[in-house]
Amino acid sequence: MSRILLAVFLGLAVLPVGASVAALTGLGVMRGLGGLHVVLAATLVTLLPIAGLWSLFGRKPGGLVVAMLVWPILLLTGLPGYFPGEVPGAIGTGFSVFASPGGRDFSRSAALLGERVGEPMGHTLQGATPAPEAERAVPDCVPSAVPTTGDQAALPYEGSGHSMAIPVQFGDVELPMLFDTGASVTTLNRASLARIGIRVPSDAPEITLRTANGERTAKLVLVPRLWVGGLLVEGVTVGICEECADDRTMGLLGLNVSSQFLVTVDTLRKEVVFQARDALGDRLIDVSPWLRVQARATIYPDTRVEVEVTGENVAPRTITEAVVGLSCGDDRFLARLTNVPPEGSATTTVNLPRGTDCSAYKVTLDSARW
């Protein structure tokens, strides 16, 4: 009987140990760190003190149970004092990292579970710290979108001027976001990305963002889809920006989303109305960080000029079309790449007029879409 009880207690003790490793891993990831070294450091910080306490108890089985309970509980209790309001989101992020091999849906479910596990630690002494960003519900002042027609949606907003908070749907998760016509790229903080099941790879592309605190480099991820009202936008590039979130919104809704619609701000009704466009819009902002374009010009003795253009797609979805600009001196030409496969490449060849001076040339990505 004692062995059965010991096994039960050991099983229960694994839970705070796992939560501690997840919390420390998540705190590292939320600060832009990543890779196995973060998981290893979190594991060592959790397990080494447990091993030390076990030694003090004479390495008895019961002492192991006590050590596995005492140190993680002390750790999880103390973390909110150093990282106020972040622990539930950190545990969710850590769970998401560990669950990522099981796929996006499994990772998202694990993140939500982790946040619930961390709920008791959502506040510091006397519960004075606000709830972490990943746990914040949509404020009452930011009501859900009201669809008006099949190709139009009205989103009530809170605030005024350049500070309009609107609800945006990511699968079954609704997040309040700041509608910002000055932001090119949509942004979210790490806790929100973990909540919707998006993992940030260590080799993610980067972009320079202009924030209230100046310019900063931010990693990019590709969100499969989001909805404004009932209107779908697929393949949205999102920058990771902690400074772009606050106690009211989780990030910025940028031009890479809003430019897909005809947008009207009704200040009397306090609504932002999104009207779907008839034609497919340019997705250059979303595609450009994921498409690496290069060109090679060959000048033949008979003055023929041939340019081979190659596009390497590092995104997990197909780029259906990309228009590449070729500038040779004062002359400008276009090359079109089609159906560039996920994590693959495509090549096209352009024959320029005889005698074109292409001894020096410049390559630009003019337009693109998924």
| CB-CB neighbours of 326 under 10 Å | 21
What pLDDT is recorded for position 8? 63
Do residues 95 and 40 touch, judged by C-beta distance below 8 A? no
Place of tokens 């009397």: 268
Nearest by Cα to 181 from 92, 253, 88:
253
Torsion angle of C-alpha atoms 84, 87, 88, 94, degrees rounded to 10? 150
Task: Please give the structure tokens belonging to residue 307.
Answer: 């340019």
| Closest to 212 in 3D by CA, of 176, 252, 247, 177 | 252
Mean pLDDT within 237-264: 91
Most confident among 70-84, 121-135, 149-163, 287-301 (mean pLDDT): 287-301
Task: Give the rounded percent of residues in the chain with a pLDDT score beyond 90.
Answer: 34
How many CB atoms lie under 10 A from the CB of residue 182? 9
Mean pLDDT of the chain: 81
Burial of residue 84 (number of CB atoms within 10 Å: 0-12, 13-18, 19+): middle
- Residue 256: pLDDT over 70: yes
282-286, 331-335, 358-362: range with lowest mean pLDDT: 358-362
Query: Can you read off the two tokens belonging to residue 250?
Result: 């989780």
Contacts 24+ apart (CB under 8 A), 177-183: 177/249, 177/250, 177/251, 177/252, 177/253, 178/244, 178/249, 178/251, 178/252, 178/253, 179/253, 179/258, 179/272, 180/252, 180/253, 180/254, 181/255, 181/258, 183/244, 183/252, 183/253, 183/254, 183/255
State mean pLDDT over 239-259.
91
Between 107 and 135, the more confident residue is: 107
Give residue 142's pLDDT.
42
Q: What is the mean pLDDT of residues 122-130?
A: 36
In three-state secondary structure terms, 114 is helix
What pLDDT, on the 0 to 100 scale, is given for residue 347?
96
All residues at 6 or more sequence positions from 358 whose CB lies less than 8 Å from its CB, including other chains = 297, 299, 305, 307, 328, 329, 352
- Give the mean model confidence (pLDDT) for residues 295-311: 87
pLDDT tens digit sequence for 308-340 = 999 999 999 999 999 999 998 888 999 999 999
* CA angle centred on 258, ends 257 and 260, rounded to 5°: 75
CA 179, 181, 187 angle in degrees (round to 5)? Answer: 60
Mean pLDDT along residues 273-290: 89
Q: Give the pLDDT of residue 84.
A: 64
In the block, tokens 């749907």 appear at: 169
Q: Which of 120-134, 142-156, 248-262 is the least confident region?
A: 120-134
- More confident call, 62 vs 165: 165
pLDDT of residue 135: 35
The pLDDT score that the predictor gives to residue 9 is: 63
Name the pLDDT band for 3 (thresholds 50, 70, 90). low
Give the residue among 255, 263, 260 at the shortest CA–CA distance from 238.
255
| Class of residue 282 by CB neighbours under 10 A (exposed 0-12, middle 13-18, buried 19+) | middle
Residue with the larger pLDDT of the pair 351 and 95: 351
Per-residue model confidence (pLDDT) at position 173: 93
Q: Categorize the per-residue pLDDT at 284 as very low, low, confident or very high, splitting at 50, 70 and 90.
A: very high
With beta carbons less than 8 A apart as the criterion, state whether 17 and 70 touch: no
pLDDT range class, residue 132, cuts 50, 70, 90 = very low
Note the pLDDT of residue 137: 37
